[in-house]
């Protein structure tokens, strides 16, 4: 929105269209198969053709909504290119709606500076270099120049925005005091139970997938971070040092998108330690209980997971979620074991 105003967009309906398109431009990806969206490697020609359909499909979806401002042209054309080599209509230069030209530059920069299932995020400097290299071919030179001039101000605004976010987290933390006693008790016992279940899962995976390592991350109540609740010994020290925000790395991406990602680069979570440990790929999957995300199960391995093994990991994640749901039900009924009993039971199983 700052960039739009800097480029002279003043009409309130046009500004609303830019704001809506910024949020909804990829809604057409609902029509793209998950295996294409989440593929960790390079897309084939056929897969890329399927991906390219999302801009036209998104426009089609939003046309049915009947927005009172011109959001549809921006969504349809946000992958057009200044030189006419974009899609879906190969528009050239000023024929591309200004809102679409703005969105394409910002969307590119945001994608480059965010973690993806197939690569780590880039620095601002590297992302700026790529955007600038595409100036005059993919992107409107005037839009690129305005964005580059505004970037320091925009990044400063990002930092300022963290203040209200922290306040919101603190308010949410205070609100937890009003929850029912059973819900609070479940929150208190969940980490221990999750660790217990993950340990059993790791044992089963070790039998089925020799050389694999397991980590279970859980959303940290009250902030936007993922905490480690269980890790196999070989990676425990590495993952204990991680600070993963929702959306970052593979575990954070899965937490944010609620989708399994298979055979992605293990270094996106483990960094350089992945090479040292001989772990090249990762399959990560969400764990749900009563429809809520309670954990992310990550399995790291030296070689590619087969489809059967990916399904096995998903099934084990479902088992963890189901057991957590059963535990909450037992807790509500007053029949669940106390945390200390869980710990003893777990210790006895390990000894046996």
- Give the CATH superfamily of 181-351: GAF domain (3.30.450.40)
CATH number for the region 2-164 comes to 1.10.3210.10
Whether 29 and 54 have beta carbons less than 8 Å apart is answered as yes
pLDDT tens, the chain, 352 aa long: 999 999 999 999 999 999 999 999 999 988 887 777 766 667 888 889 989 999 999 999 999 888 999 999 999 999 999 999 999 999 999 999 999 999 999 999 998 988 766 677 889 999 999 999 999 999 999 999 999 999 999 988 888 776 554 444 344 444 434 333 334 333 444 556 666 677 777 878 877 888 999 999 988 766 688 888 888 999 999 998 888 888 888 898 898 888 888 999 999 899 899 999 999 999 999 998 877 888 899 999 999 999 889 989 988 888 888 887 777 666 666 654 544 333 333 333 333 3
pTM: 0.56
CB neighbour list of residue 289: distance below 8 Å, 6 or more residues apart: 321, 322, 324, 325, 328
Which residues are bridge partners to 116 per DSSP? 119
Whether 89 and 64 have beta carbons less than 8 Å apart is answered as no
What are the structural domain ranges in the chain? 2-164, 181-351
Assign 3-state DSSP to the chain and report helix, strand, coil percentages, each to 5.
60, 10, 25
């Amino acid at each position: 929105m700052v960039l739009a105003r800097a480029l002279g967009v003043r009409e309130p309906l046009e500004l609303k269209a830019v704001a809506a398109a910024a949020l909804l431009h990829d809604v057409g990806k609902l029509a793209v198969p998950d295996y294409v969206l989440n593929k960790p490697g390079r897309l084939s020609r056929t897969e890329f053709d399927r991906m390219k359909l999302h801009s036209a499909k998104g426009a089609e979806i939003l046309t049915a909504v009947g927005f009172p401002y011109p959001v549809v042209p921006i969504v349809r054309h946000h992958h057009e290119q200044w030189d006419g080599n974009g899609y879906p209509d190969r528009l050239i230069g000023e024929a591309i709606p200004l809102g679409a030209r703005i969105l394409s530059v910002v969307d590119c920069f945001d994608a480059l500076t965010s973690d993806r299932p197939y690569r780590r995020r880039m620095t601002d400097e590297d992302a700026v270099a790529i955007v600038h290299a595409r100036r005059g071919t993919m992107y409107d030179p005037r839009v690129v120049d305005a964005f580059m001039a505004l970037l320091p101000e925009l990044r400063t605004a990002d930092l300022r925005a963290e203040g209200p976010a922290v306040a919101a987290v603190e308010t949410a933390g205070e609100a937890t005091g009003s929850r029912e006693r059973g819900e609070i008790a479940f929150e208190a016992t969940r980490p221990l139970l999750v660790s217990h279940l993950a340990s059993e899962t790791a044992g089963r995976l070790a039998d089925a997938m020799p050389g694999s390592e397991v980590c279970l991350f859980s959303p940290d109540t009250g902030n936007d971070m993922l905490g480690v609740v269980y890790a196999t010994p070989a990676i425990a020290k590495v993952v204990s040092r991680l600070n993963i925000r929702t959306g970052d790395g593979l575990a954070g991406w899965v937490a944010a998108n609620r989708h399994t990602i298979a055979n992605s680069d293990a270094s996106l979570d483990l960094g350089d330690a992945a090479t040292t440990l001989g772990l090249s790929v990762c399959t990560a999957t969400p764990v749900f209980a009563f429809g809520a995300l309670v954990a992310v199960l990550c399995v790291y391995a030296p070689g590619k997971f087969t489809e059967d093994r990916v399904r096995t990991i998903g099934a084990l994640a479902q088992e963890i979620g189901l057991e957590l749901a059963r535990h909450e039900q037992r807790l509500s009924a007053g029949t669940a074991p106390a945390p200390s009993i869980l710990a003893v039971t777990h210790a006895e199983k390990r000894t046996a």
